[in-house]
Amino acid sequence: MVAQHPRPSARVGRPRALGPSESQLSPRDEVLAAAAELFTENGYAATTTRAVAERAGLRQASMYHYFARKEDILATLLESTVEPSLQLATALLARSEADPAARLWALAAADAALLHRGLYNLGALYQLPEVRGERFAGFRGARAELRAAYGELLHLIAPDEPGRELRCDLLLGLVEGGVAVVRDRGRGNGDGDGAGGGYGTAEVGAAVADAVLRLAGCDRAAREAAALAGRELA
Amino acid sequence: MVAQHPRPSARVGRPRALGPSESQLSPRDEVLAAAAELFTENGYAATTTRAVAERAGLRQASMYHYFARKEDILATLLESTVEPSLQLATALLARSEADPAARLWALAAADAALLHRGLYNLGALYQLPEVRGERFAGFRGARAELRAAYGELLHLIAPDEPGRELRCDLLLGLVEGGVAVVRDRGRGNGDGDGAGGGYGTAEVGAAVADAVLRLAGCDRAAREAAALAGRELA
DNA sequence: ATTATCTATAGATCTATAGATAATGC
DNA sequence: ATTATCTATAGATCTATAGATAATGC
């Protein structure tokens, strides 16, 4: 989702039937962006390869130059969505000198903001039944690691509370589900553009992080301190 | 999802090619049950009408005797999932003599248990893109009412806190998303039967309700009192 | 020679309808 | 006569592959 093509003109290969691309994205990234929008808008199974390709400015079959199967597109998108959060989680776990509550705040805020920001609400796809397939083992593994990081921080904050696994699940559900509801209601009957809700991405991140700390059992003073310190950790 | 057929034998109509039904359910309910399982297992779009019908013991076309279109099956399922929670919510809102925290506890616990219990994880379908269509306006309306009830109780408990709408979204996300994560992880690579997680349904309901009260800002004593009183309200 | 794209299509579905049929009910 | 089911199928897809083509690079 990052690399750009070196030369806008002077392109190798047969020209596109629909004219050259407007965007600065590489063709592969154009496909990913188109798929992200359509998958989250209409669902994965309901989105045809033709729709994806044509939104990317290509003919249906040309997409297969970049992805061997439709599943590969979804897998790539999902992996690219967890990965930044997982990397941040790993970094935060290592900073054992910092307040665990501040670290949990930073992780939750960044994770929620990431899910809220995108053009596309990929978080809503996390629990898609399709994602149970073999092809998505990589994504599921990364998400499990992210969950474990949340669990670790939660344990540092509240080591004695029972039902640790269950509370960790609820915490993850709060982050992913909460953002999904916020986005979804924001979109409402509105006109599909932008990250939903009338809420700013940072606002949602902060609200989710605060809610996460409430689940973790922090009182108001602890939450306010964690928010202040957490902003420094990002 | 309730009515049973009066006489097991002495059935009108051409006999089924696959033999008579084992279950006590009406044919329509057999279709609903089959669809619920398959939709949540494989996704709505990915589930064919043939698969649904045949799991219900019918030929593909026979299903259309009970539902004019595939969407109608999903709509029926979704509506039947929110409705009990919505009814409880309405009843609880009316009981103004009771502690709001206890009422919120009761609503969240029942809602979560309902979502957790079923053979099928219909809560995971709530945010399905397909559900945005016209046909699902009824379901979406009911869910919006349920959300409003949560918001009302939340307001009674913590009238002064800002970000009311946002916190209400997060609360709904916690209930729906939390249950989805719990179920999903429970299923894991396990063998699809039962309500997932190794957790009991009542346990999950109580854990979710406790988490909801944490979001609402109740301290430990208030939560324990609310749980005690809330159990009486169901 | 290499590349990115195209056109064309095989093969596999999938939904929903039309119309027949095998029971019971009267 | 009414009902619940069946068989058969039209028409509309949809994914993925095969093979051609129109650029640039050397």
Give distance CA A11 / C1' D23 (Å).
7
Q: How confident is the model at residue A10 (pLDDT cuts 50, 70, 90)?
A: low
Specify the higher pLDDT residue, A219 or A3: A219
For chain A, where do the domains classified as CATH 1.10.357 start and end?
Answer: 81-233
Give the contacts of A189 (CB within 8 A, at least 6 positions apart). Answer: none
Q: Are B103 and B230 in contact (CB under 8 A)?
A: yes
Side chain identity at B138, as an amino acid letter?
A: G
Average pLDDT, consecutive stretches of 10 residues, N- to C-terminus, chain B (234 residues): 48 91 93 93 91 96 96 94 95 96 98 83 75 90 96 93 90 94 71 57 96 96 97 90
Specify the higher pLDDT residue, A207 or A161: A207
For chain B, where do the domains classified as CATH 1.10.10.60 start and end?
Answer: 16-68
Question: Which nucleotides of chain C have an atom under 7 angstroms from any protein CB?
Answer: 2-9, 13-25
Q: Are B161 and B218 in contact (CB under 8 A)?
A: no
Q: How confident is the model at residue A15 (pLDDT cuts 50, 70, 90)?
A: very high
**DSSP alpha helices (H): ranges in B118-160?**
137-157
* Number of residues that make up chain A: 234
Q: How confident is the model at residue A134 (pLDDT cuts 50, 70, 90)?
A: confident
The CATH class given to the B81-233 domain equals mainly alpha
Residue % of chain A over a pLDDT of 90: 69
Side chain identity at B183, as an amino acid letter?
A: R
The whole-model pTM stands at 0.88
Residue A35 has pLDDT above 80, yes or no: yes
Q: How confident is the model at residue A3 (pLDDT cuts 50, 70, 90)?
A: very low
CA distance B178 to B156: 24
Q: Are A3 and A26 in contact (CB under 8 A)?
A: yes
Using a CB-CB distance cutoff of 8 angstroms, which residues of chain B are in contact with residue A38?
Answer: none
Give distance CA B14 / C1' C25 (Å).
14
Q: How confident is the model at residue A188 (pLDDT cuts 50, 70, 90)?
A: low
Give the contacts of A92 (CB within 8 A, at least 6 positions apart). Answer: A98, A103, A106, A107, A149, A153, A233
Specify the higher pLDDT residue, A122 or A184: A184
Residue A4 has pLDDT above 80, yes or no: no
Of B109, B124, B134, the residue nearest B226 (C-alpha): B109
Average pLDDT value for residue range A163-174: 94
The fold for domain A16-68 equals Arc Repressor Mutant, subunit A (1.10.10)
Question: Please, which residues 183-202 of chain A have a Cβ atom closer than 8 Å to chain B?
Answer: 184-185, 197, 199
Structure tokens at A16: 């596109």
Phi and psi angles of residue A68, each rounded to the nearest 5 degrees, phi first: -70, -30
- Burial classification of residue B208, based on how many CB atoms lie within 10 Å of its CB (0-12 exposed, 13-18 middle, 19 or more buried): buried
Residue A144 has pLDDT above 90, yes or no: yes
Residue A69 has pLDDT above 70, yes or no: yes
Query: Is B177 within 8 Å of A174 when comparing Cβ atoms?
Result: yes
